[in-house]
Amino acid sequence: MKIAVIALGGNALQPSNEKWTYEGLERNINKTVLHLAPLFAKYKVVITHGNGPEVGNLLIQQHSTKEVPEMPLDVCDAMTQGQLGYLLQRSIRNNLKKKAITVVTQVEVDKNDRAFKNPTKPIGPFYKEKIEKQMIKQKAGWRKVVPSPKPKRIIEIEEIKSLIKKGYTVIACGGGGIPVVNGKGVESVIDKDYSTQLLASQLKADLLIFLTDTDYVYFNYGTKNAVPIARIKPKEMSKVLVSFPEEFKEGSMRPKIEASLKFLSKGKKVIITKPELLGKALKEKAGTMIK
């Protein structure tokens, strides 16, 4: 069977307009997993996921008391990989009757990556005042910022390949993976979309899917003149990305599109859509397809 790698955005598991509870997280994961059912009929499935809301909540819990020592960010990444991986694999087994397993995944980054000299990725809760050196001011308050280096190598790639061959649905690279340099975790986060592309490329996957909170990629997104992009060729998408940089900014669609273009080659395709539209998107009746 062919291989499909599917990235679940953080909002697919915990919508931003929803108060965090365990019951809500469990419900959202079950709903999302059921939307994946059509994929299992034609592909071996590998799943990645975001962890932004969950790691943010974990950092709030850590900051709420001094009686228990705080864990570094790489350990928090590992904790949320286990948390979400457990719930996803349980849901896949219970709802889809498929074998599933979570790989707590380390991803090597370059110690000389420029991101380490220019931390820009906001994480964790908002504060009323600046309490650390590396913080930025946003509308809701101050937030800690950390480097976001590009992924170079997935350390557990051979283990992932072996589990796929044994018939498992593998959940890997959660939250972009745990960033490591020379075998040690580092205080940074890796963009999930770039890690997903690296994983899909190393697995020689046939299909890459980004499930997010919008049904299509749009021109003029968020305006009354928004135009959905249903089908587009990689060369055309590349030209659009260069010609209209303000349309696709960092922190929105740009990482997904850049990751898609890096993944695509002959015979491969990318789908970007909402979880509930995946079935239609596989039939080319919804979502954005790049191929």
10, 50, 85, 177: which is the annotated catalytic residue?
A: 10
Contacts 24+ apart (CB under 8 A), 161-167: 161/203, 163/101, 163/103, 164/3, 164/44, 164/46, 164/203, 167/99
Per annotation, catalytic residue among 44, 144, 192, 268: 192
- The yes-or-no answer on residue 10 being catalytic is yes
Q: What is the spatial distance between Cα 143 and Cα 126, in angstroms, rounded to a whole number?
A: 5
Q: Which of 11, 50, 124, 176 is catalytic?
A: 11
Q: Is 192 a catalytic residue?
A: yes
User: Choosing from 144, 256, 268, 274, which is the catalytic residue?
Assistant: 256
Question: 3, 7, 1: which is closest to 173 by C-alpha?
Answer: 7
Structure tokens that stand for 266 in this block: 């002959």
Residue of 51, 52, 85, 121 marked catalytic: 121
- CA-nearest of 91, 224, 270 to 169 is 91
- Do 142 and 131 touch, CB atoms closer than 8 A? yes
Active-site residue set? 10-11, 121, 192, 256
